[in-house]
Amino acid sequence: MSKSPDPNLKSAINGYLRRHHAEICRHWFDDIDPGEIGGGVLNLVVHDPIQLRYLQRSCAQQFTEAAQSVTGRLLAIKFVGAEEPPPGSAPSTPMLDSSARAATATLPPIEQTLLSPDYTFETFVVGPCNRLAHAAALAVGDRPGRTYNPFFVHGGVGLGKTHLLQAICQRLLRQRASTVLCYVSCATFADHFHEAVRAGTVADFRGKFRSVDVLVVDDIHFLSKRDQTQEEFFHTFNALYQAGKQLVLSSDAAPSDIPDLENRLVSRFNSGLVVRMERPCFETRVNIVRTKAELHGMAMDDTLGSFIATRVEGNVRELEGALMKIRLMASASGQPIGMDLVRESLRDHAAAPSGESQHSIQDITESVVQFFNVRLTDILGKRRHKSIALPRQVSMYLARRLTRLSLEEIGGYFGGRDHSTVLHAIRTVEIKRQSDEALSRGIATIERALGVEESVATSSPDSSGAGHQLERAG
C-alpha cells in the first residue's frame, strides 16, 4: 500500500540538507517533489533529466540520510523522472524524459562525463571577458553543425570553458532530445582508445565515436605529445566533420600554442571559430558572486558581493572557493552571512593582504601621492580635475585591495564620498589597468613601494599567469 507523503516533507528534507550537507545544496532542489512512499521507498520526482541523472549519481546518500532523519523511518529513496513509469515496469535509462528516452536507445555506450546541472546557460554570467564565446556557444547549441564548426574555445584555468561546453550539451539535449551527443574529456577519449587497442576493439571504438551528431571534447590540449591518440582523433575529427557533424573543443591554449600538436590538427582546429576566454573583470566577478550565491541558496547583498569580488581577483574557481568557505564558516559558526563573517573567511585568501596592520590607508595614499606627484590635500578634497581624479581612484582601488576597510569607510576617508563613488573608482582602475600599460606598471611600482608581497602584486590581471595570453591578444 503506497501513501502520499506529508506536505511538509519537502521543506523538512531541504532544511536537513542545508544544515548537514550544505555543499550539495542547490536552489533547484526546491523543484524536487516527494512522491509516493511505497514498500519503504520514498520516490523523489525530478522534472529535469539532467538534474535527475546528476542526483542519482551524486546525491543519493545525502537524500537518504535526510529522508530517514526527518521521517524517523528506515526509508530508501529513489529519484524518478516526472514521466517515468512506476518502478518495476521498465528499466530506467539515463536520460529520462519521454522524448529523451528515444535518444538513449541510439546513444552509443560510451562512458561519458557526467553533465552538471550547475553548468547551464542560465547560470553562466556574460561579461566582456566571455561575450563572444558565450554568443558562439549559444549559436552552436541552437544550430549544431551549421554555424561554427569546429567551435574551439580556449583560455586559462577556471575561466568557464567546461561550464560553457556543458551548457551547450544541456541546451542541445533539451531542445532536441534525439541528438546523439558525446561529451568527454580528452583524457577519457584517450583512455577509451587505448583500452580499445588493448582489447582489439578499435573498430567498435571508431563506430561509436564516429556515429555521433555532436562530439564535445574538453581539454583537448591533453593531446599534446600523444602521437597515437592524435592520429586517432584526427580521423575521428575528419569523419565527423565531413558528415556535417558538430565538433566542440576546449583547450588551455590556442591551437597553434598547444605544444607538440601536429600541424594538420592545428589547421583543422583553426578552420572553424576559435575564441579565447579572458579573466573576468570586477563587474563580471560581482555578477558571478551573485549568481553563485543564489545557486547555493546563500543570502548575499551587493556590498558583500563587491567586497568578495575585490578581494578575490583570480579565476572564477577561486571566487567560487571563497564563497564555499564563507558558507562553511557561516554554518559552522551559526552566524549570518554579513561583512564580519566575510572578512574573517577571506582573511587568508591568497589575493588578500597578508597583514592588516601592514598597510594603512594613510600609507597607501602617501605612496600614491608621491608617485603621481600631486598634493595630499587635493586627493582628499573635492577637486574633480582629471589630474587629481586618477590618483584618487588609484588610492581607493589600492585601499580596497590592501586594507580591510569597507567601501563606506574608504569613501569617508576621501572627503566623505559615498560607497558608489568608491565602487566606480575601483571599476575604472580595474578596466584601465588592463589596457593601459603605464598605469599597470605604475600601480605595481606603488605596491612595491608599499612592500606588498609578490602574491598580492601578481594577482592583478595583467601580471598573472594569464599575462602571456593578454600579450598575444595584442
**Residues forming the site for Mg ion (CB under 5 A):** 161-162
- Stretch touching ligand ADP by CB under 6 A, among 11-19, 306-314, 315-323, 396-404: 315-323
Give dist(CA 219, CA 162) in Å, integer.
8
What mask, x for binding ligand ADP by CB under 6 A, covers residues 255 to 294?
A: ---------------------------------x--x---
Binding residues for ligand ADP restricted to 373-432, rule: CB under 6 A? none
Closest-by-Cβ residue to ligand ADP is: 160
- Stretch touching ligand ADP by CB under 6 A, among 1-9, 46-54, 58-66, 154-162: 154-162
What's the min distance (Å) between Cβ of 100 and Mg ion?
A: 25
Pick 185 or 440: Cβ nearer Mg ion? 185
- HEC readout, 430-448: HHHHHHCHHHHHHHHHHHH
Answer yes or no whether residue 160 interacts with ligand ADP by CB under 6 A: yes
What's the min distance (Å) between Cβ of 315 and ligand ADP?
A: 7
What's the min distance (Å) between Cβ of 50 and Mg ion?
A: 18
Q: Which member of 43, 51, 120, 162 binds ligand ADP (CB under 6 A)? A: 162
From the list Mg ion, ligand ADP, none, pick the one residue 395 interacts with, judged by a Cβ distance below 5 to 8 Å according to partner type: none
- Stretch touching ligand ADP by CB under 6 A, among 24-32, 157-165, 171-179, 412-420: 157-165
Return the C-alpha cell found at 175: 531542445
Give dist(CA 183, CA 115) in Å, integer.
8
From the list ligand ADP, Mg ion, none, pick the one residue 318 interacts with, judged by a Cβ distance below 5 to 8 Å according to partner type: none
Answer yes or no whether residue 125 interacts with ligand ADP by CB under 6 A: yes
CA distances from 208 to 193, 213, 268 (A): 11, 11, 21
Q: How many residues bind ligand ADP (CB under 6 A)?
A: 17
Q: Is residue 278 a contact partner of residue 187, using CB atoms and an 8 Å limit?
A: no
What's the min distance (Å) between Cβ of 102 and ligand ADP?
A: 30
Answer yes or no whether residue 158 interacts with ligand ADP by CB under 6 A: yes
Residue type, 95: M
What's the min distance (Å) between Cβ of 257 and Mg ion?
A: 17
The residues facing 249 across adjacent strands are 152, 217
Q: Is residue 411 a contact partner of residue 446, using CB atoms and an 8 Å limit?
A: no
- Stretch touching ligand ADP by CB under 6 A, among 161-169, 193-201, 323-331, 432-440: 161-169
Q: Which member of 159, 169, 215, 217 binds ligand ADP (CB under 6 A)? A: 159
**Other C-beta atoms within 10 Å of 7: how many?**
8
- Stretch touching ligand ADP by CB under 6 A, among 7-15, 120-128, 138-146, 188-196: 120-128
Give the single-character DSSP code of 220.
G
Does the CA dihedral 71-75-79-83 come out positive or negative?
A: negative
Q: Is residue 208 a contact partner of residue 108, using CB atoms and an 8 Å limit?
A: yes
Give dist(CA 320, CA 308) in Å, integer.
10
Return the C-alpha cell found at 179: 541528438
**Could you give the 3-state DSSP secondary structure of residue 76?**
strand
Answer yes or no whether residue 317 interacts with ligand ADP by CB under 6 A: yes
Give dist(CA 106, CA 179) in Å, integer.
9
Q: What share of the chain is helix, strand, coil (3-state, %, to 5)?
A: 55, 10, 35
DSSP letters along 171-192, please?
Answer: HHHHH-TT--EEEEEHHHHHHH
Binding residues for ligand ADP restricted to 287-306, rule: CB under 6 A? 288, 291
Q: Is residue 81 a contact partner of residue 97, using CB atoms and an 8 Å limit?
A: yes
Q: Which member of 320, 430, 447, 462 binds ligand ADP (CB under 6 A)? A: 320
Q: What residues make contact with ligand ADP under the rule CB under 6 A? A: 119, 123-125, 130, 157-163, 288, 291, 316-317, 320
